[in-house]
Amino acid sequence: MKLLIVLAFVTVAAARPDSDYSRYENFNVDEITGNKRLLKAYCDCFLGVGKCTPEGSDFKTWIPESVQNSCGKCSENQKVLVSKMIIAIQEQLPEDWVKLNKEYDPDSKYVEALKEFLHKYGH
């Protein structure tokens, strides 16, 4: 019985999307950024106006914290992936980029930190 309780706890802890970013260490962001329709679908998810994939739901959950601390829980590789996604949205969907900023940084507190982040990780 104790084993079942421990297993249930481990399963719940592992399923919490905010507890571990590691499963996205090698996420194929190029698949999204190379397909404008797919990129738009992710933006719509992040803005709450479209359906989310399981990954999109995880990312959406993490956006507020990541905006505030420049993706502080992300690995160096994940920071590169995030910067690729941001740059793709800025370039391909500038109107959605404006909406995302209004949603997640309404007071423009993190504009300079984002510029530094993209300068460092955007390749």
The structural domain count of the chain equals 1
Contact between 78 and 21 under an 8 Å Cβ cutoff? The reply is: yes
In this predicted structure, what is the pLDDT of residue 26? 78
pLDDT of residue 34 exceeding 90, the answer is yes
pTM, full prediction: 0.79
Q: Which domain holds residue 51?
A: 2-121
pLDDT value, residue 9: 34
Nearest 10 degrees: Cα torsion 85, 86, 91, 95: 120
| pLDDT computed for residue 109 by the predictor | 94
Position 120 pLDDT exceeds 60: yes
pLDDT in tens, 63-116: 888 888 988 888 898 889 999 999 999 999 999 999 999 999 999 999 999 999
**Position 100, amino acid:** L
The CATH number of the domain holding residue 61 is 1.10.2080.10
Alpha helices in 1-123 (DSSP H): 2-15, 29-33, 36-47, 54-69, 76-92, 94-104, 111-121
